Amino acid sequence: MVSLRWLYTFIFLSTLAQSKFAGDDVDCSVVAVGGGWAGVYFAYRYFINSDVPAHKICIFEASQRIGGRTFSKAFTVMSDKGQADKFVLDVGAYRFSPDMHLPGDIIMKHLQLPTACYEPDCEIASKDFPPPFHFNYTAPLRRIVDPVTQQPAGYVTAMRVMVEKMQQKGVHIMLGMRLLDIMPDSSGNAHLLFGGGVNVTAHTVLLNLPRTPVLSLPAIKSLTSERTVKMLECIKFDRPEQLFPNMTFGKSLAKAYAYYDDAWWHNHLNMTEGQLPQNAFIPLQTSQGIPIGIHFNDGPVICDAPHKNCRGFLEVFYTTAPQSFFDSVRVHTDSDSPLGVLNGSMTDAKVKLAKLHKAVMEATKPLFDQREVAQPVAIPRFLVVGVWDRTGHGYTAPTKVYFSTALGDSMEKACGVPGLTEKEYRDTVLTPFGSAMPRVHLANNDWVAQEVMGFSGDWAEESLLQAERALSRLGLSKPSWLDSSYYQEKIQAFLPKQSHRSGDTPIFV
């Protein structure tokens, strides 16, 4: 395995370089709109597995960063001893099971990035989801780590490595480019209009876009049927009581990390894994009005020796449960970013951090009592949150179709589309414009439709599966590093029947 130390330094401590774009100066044959997992992967597969020249492959991203719902943020924290500690937090997607061959095989086999078990004891993945919930993976969950320190390196590392490889050979990466509309031209290509009056014509397009940006495109109403529009608008999340007992959902999916100079869960409790409560997705309610759900192993921690002089981040909340405290931290930041930081050097922030500390201590009091250890009084120095909206604004949490047959639901009932099946939904959203633009595909975790009892598809897997199905339709064969059984089960078995070929491109019916 080659050393990637230099690359980790580059991707986290510098700004991602991007191609300069001047109207028609860039000739794009293959375009990925959206720089999330599916968009980057789609462009990368064309880059390494097709005869399309690198300079004719383009990625357009609306924001100023690569990653989408994967958001790895680097922090340098001066410890109370004057040490410059470097941490990377994933405020979005962050882990995977090798059973998810997409993305697992990309990370571990193709890019050969160093990884470590998410849980220190490397327990099987299904243990992370208490019954009766059925988790469809068994291999221990893993995350990408720094090869030297073994600290979390950030889930976005894989995307940034692919981007770096592409940029070195001339692939265009353009940030701050928001798609306004897409239309077919007279030659059968797709004409894309971006903000600022930028026009691009491409032969092949992947829209790596969530629901809200897709539905904002005028072409969705003008070029697709009412039935297709209803599918694209469909959102459903059935919550059978046996899976979600006494649980209500709030306006966001929020993830929060508190930084402590004294990482007491290491230094005093020797808690390096597990959750509090047993299922932290259903958090403990506290008298402070702040719900707390802890993953003791999730946040990065640096120690001078095992359980000695440890400092770092504790994940104190990660769920869709109703709350306003963590949402309020993000409100004070750029409305287009899910990231929020509460810095304890400011008086008003100190008050909030003190309140958070009281809530955390209230939730963990039984652990200290069991060990007859005094609770720490020092409050967190700062709080980092990722707030992913569930109401359709800004960066959203995935909005899917999860239906429960136990509740008498189905795809047809969930979406109000007569006769709708999972297969029709899946095929339609993959090529939403049909014959009008057959080489325009759609891939994003928003376009998942399945029975709620079986958990699969998150942490980018479903986005990547959709992208790979699009690539297969477009004539690109299985990459050599991707598991053959997985490809047959998840890609080939999901494609429409092939009728004939036109040139090098498979045509499906």
pLDDT digits (tens, 9 = 90+) for 350-396: 999 999 999 999 999 999 999 999 999 999 999 999 999 998 888 89
C-alpha–C-alpha distance, residues 206 and 52, integer Å: 15
Nearest Cα to Cα of residue 394 among 446, 336, 333, 444? 336
C-alpha–C-alpha distance, residues 313 and 380, integer Å: 9
Reported as a pLDDT band with limits 50, 70 and 90, residue 500 is very low
Q: What is the 3-state secondary structure (H, E, C) of 232-284?
A: HHCCEECCCCCCCCCCCCCCEEEEEEEEECCCHHHHCCCCCCCEECCCCCCCE
Average pLDDT over residues 49-63: 97
pLDDT given at position 132: 64
Beta strands in 320-363 (DSSP E): 339-343
pTM attached to this predicted model: 0.93
Q: What secondary structure letter does DSSP report for 287?
A: T
Look up tokens 């998150």; give the residue.
458
Q: What secondary structure letter does DSSP report for 293?
A: -
pLDDT at 15 over 80: no
Q: Give the bridge partners for 402, in sequence order.
A: 237, 450
CB 109 within 8 A of CB 484: no
> How far from the centroid of its chain's Cα atoms is residue 216's Cα?
22
Burial class from Cβ neighbours inside 10 Å (0-12, 13-18, 19+) for residue 199 reads exposed
C-alpha–C-alpha distance, residues 223 and 232, integer Å: 13
**Percent of the chain residues past pLDDT 90, beyond the cut:** 76
Q: Which residues of 140-164 are buried (b: 16+ CB within 10 A; e: fewer)?
A: bbbbbbbbeeebbbbbbbbbbbbbe
Reported as a pLDDT band with limits 50, 70 and 90, residue 136 is confident
Reported as a pLDDT band with limits 50, 70 and 90, residue 239 is confident
C-alpha–C-alpha distance, residues 254 and 358, integer Å: 20
Instruction: Please give the span between the terminal C-alpha atoms of the chain, in angstroms, as a whole number.
Output: 43
Joined together, the tokens standing for residue 250 give 């709030």
Average pLDDT over residues 282-297: 96
CA dihedral 399, 123, 143, 337 (to 10 degrees): 30
Mean pLDDT of the chain: 90
Contacts of 58 (CB under 8 A, 6+ apart): 26, 28, 30, 31, 32, 43, 171, 172, 173, 174, 200, 202
